[in-house]
């Protein structure tokens, strides 16, 4: 085990922050190129199709986090066969899930259009988009496994290069297919499809050492009962936790609608700032997954504590810097995102909540990575459900105070998560004292 230092933390976190910065750029280009067609329907079709697929793929997001923690612990233990087996199991799940989505596409898309009806023209274009992009489902979900594995074995530069390739190629093909060849909405879908499959090929190349001498031993372990049960439990817990967290944010948006269109729009603008906070601080959470997981795999309790301390410090202070930055630059950013004077004024009115968000939530965001690295996913699930219950009670009590009450409840959700996860944090270091499970 290499010493855990501030420099090592940044070497892991830095590429993730850069990688995350490329994500919103792709969405902007997708919208921009179809916007050049001069029609509203193609823009709506690409947006609707992307949301439908993102919702389907999001259900398998647990694969990224679960694979990261399992790979990190195998890496720390120096167990090359198990490290490879973790990747193979995750790839089987990812490719299998993608093929299942392809098989069920007719029913899934019909259900989506019944929930989000669109005009006949938009629906027709969206169906063209989905009919092409769905064939990238196995690659997209398998890439969750590849990304998680690369993070777990401390190769975040490869994650950055992989994301740069996928998004860069996608953007280049967008411009060629839509503006150059005039393919319209199908061109946007084809560009993404090619980027997804070539991205999976590049990701497999970055993981090439997993298919070396340890491959035969890893294949023999694929059916290991203990490992399979652990993988199932970890992914189940992460999925439940993620669904609960998403429902909390969905409730925030839906309940905000009762305060009028202007307030709803202002909340949506400010939620984008929360998204930026999350993307920026994810780097430290991912670093925590790697460093905590490897230290536990190596059974070095002192390094587990050091990794936890550094992750908490950098996430909290990074959050404070970003919060202060939003306090200063927030009015300017609001003006970039909204042109309506009423929405601008309303967004400024609630901007202090965004500036304060890191004080309440940064600790929980760091602990997400820490708990994943420690594979304390059952605790994550239970604590998230407890925090969600507190949030529900807060909504009942605070909604009579209007939108400030709604934001207060959200900050309480962050604070309760932070407090509960800190309360249970001694279990993280204790994991380093637990013997590794026997392999069949």
Sign of the C-alpha dihedral, residues 391, 392, 394, 399?
positive
List pLDDT tens digits, range 53-99.
Answer: 888 888 888 899 999 999 999 999 999 999 999 999 999 999 999 99
List pLDDT tens digits, range 381-422.
Answer: 999 999 999 999 999 999 999 999 999 999 999 999 999 999
pLDDT of the residue at 157: 94
The residue with greater pLDDT, 316 or 253, is 316
| pLDDT tier for residue 190 given thresholds of 50, 70 and 90 | very high
pLDDT of the residue at 353: 95
Q: With a cut of 90, say whether residue 29 has pLDDT above it.
A: no
pLDDT of the residue at 27: 64
Residue 435, helix vs strand vs coil: coil
CA nearest neighbour of 89 among 292, 213, 297, 230: 230
CA nearest neighbour of 439 among 85, 102, 134, 1: 85
pLDDT of the residue at 438: 56
For residues 413 and 353, what is the distance between their CA atoms, to the nearest angstrom?
A: 13
Q: Look up residue 212 and give its DSSP letter.
A: S
| pLDDT tier for residue 374 given thresholds of 50, 70 and 90 | very high
The residue with greater pLDDT, 171 or 99, is 99
Q: With a cut of 80, say whether residue 197 has pLDDT above it.
A: yes
* For residues 334-360, average pLDDT: 87
Least confident of 25-34, 87-96, 249-258, 424-433: 25-34
DSSP-derived secondary structure for 365-410: HHHHHHHHHHT-HHHHHHHHHHHHHHHHHHHHHHGGGTHHHHHHHH
List pLDDT tens digits, range 138-160.
Answer: 999 999 999 999 999 999 999 99
pLDDT of the residue at 413: 97
Maximum C-alpha span of the chain: 66
List pLDDT tens digits, range 280-327.
Answer: 888 899 999 999 999 999 999 999 999 999 999 999 999 999 999 989
What integer best gives the mean pLDDT of the chain?
A: 89
List pLDDT tens digits, range 203-231.
Answer: 999 999 998 888 888 998 888 888 899 99
* For residues 169-193, average pLDDT: 90
For residues 153 and 246, what is the distance between their CA atoms, to the nearest angstrom?
A: 28
pTM of the model: 0.88
pLDDT of the residue at 135: 97
Domains in the chain: boundaries: 1-223, 224-435
CA nearest neighbour of 52 among 132, 122, 93, 108: 108
* For residues 95-104, average pLDDT: 96
Report CA-CA distances (Å) from 169 to 157, 373, 376. 18, 32, 37
pLDDT of the residue at 37: 66
pLDDT of the residue at 436: 67
Least confident of 100-109, 230-239, 252-261: 252-261
pLDDT of the residue at 160: 93
């Amino acid at each position: 085990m290499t010493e855990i230092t501030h420099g090592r933390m940044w070497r892991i976190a830095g590429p993730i922050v850069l990688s995350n910065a490329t994500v919103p750029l792709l969405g902007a280009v997708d919208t921009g190129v179809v916007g050049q067609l001069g029609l509203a329907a193609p823009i709506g079709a690409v947006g609707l199709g992307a949301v439908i697929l993102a919702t389907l793929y999001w259900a398998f997001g647990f694969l990224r986090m679960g694979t990261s923690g399992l790979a990190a612990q195998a890496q720390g233990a120096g167990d090359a066969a198990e490290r490879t087996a973790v990747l193979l199991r995750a790839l089987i799940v990812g490719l299998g899930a993608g093929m299942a989505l392809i098989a069920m596409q007719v029913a899934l898309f019909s259900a989506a259009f019944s929930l989000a009806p669109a005009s006949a023209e938009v629906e027709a274009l969206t169906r063209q988009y989905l009919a092409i992009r769905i064939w990238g489902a196995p690659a997209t979900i398998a890439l969750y496994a590849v990304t998680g594995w690369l993070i777990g074995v401390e190769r975040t530069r490869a994650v950055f290069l992989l994301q740069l390739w996928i998004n860069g190629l996608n953007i280049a093909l967008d411009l060629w297919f839509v503006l150059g060849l005039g393919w319209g909405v199908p061109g946007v879908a084809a560009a993404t499809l090619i980027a997804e499959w070539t991205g999976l090929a590049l990701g497999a190349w970055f993981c090439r050492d997993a298919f070396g001498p340890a491959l035969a031993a890893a294949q023999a372990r694929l059916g290991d009962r203990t490992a399979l049960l652990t993988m199932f439990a970890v992914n189940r817990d992460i999925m439940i936790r993620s669904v609960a967290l998403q429902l909390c944010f969905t409730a925030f948006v839906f309940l905000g609608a009762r305060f009028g269109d202007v307030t709803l729009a202002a909340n949506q603008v400010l939620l984008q700032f929360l998204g930026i906070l999350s993307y920026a601080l994810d780097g430290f959470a991912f670093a925590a997954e790697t460093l905590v997981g490897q230290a536990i795999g190596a059974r070095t309790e002192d390094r587990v504590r050091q990794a936890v301390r550094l992750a908490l410090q950098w996430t909290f202070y990074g959050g404070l810097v970003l919060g202060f930055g939003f306090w200063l630059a927030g009015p300017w950013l609001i003006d970039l995102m909204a042109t309506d004077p009423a929405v601008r004024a309303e967004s400024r009115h609630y901007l202090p909540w965004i500036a304060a968000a890191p004080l309440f939530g940064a600790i929980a965001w760091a602990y997400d990575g820490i708990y994943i690295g420690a594979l304390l996913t059952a605790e994550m699930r239970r604590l998230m459900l407890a925090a969600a219950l507190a949030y529900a009670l807060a909504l009942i009590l605070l909604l009579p105070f209007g939108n400030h009450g709604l934001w207060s409840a959200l900050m309480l959700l962050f604070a309760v998560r932070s407090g509960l996860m800190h309360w249970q944090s001694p279990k993280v270091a204790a994991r380093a004292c637990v013997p590794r499970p026997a392999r069949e």
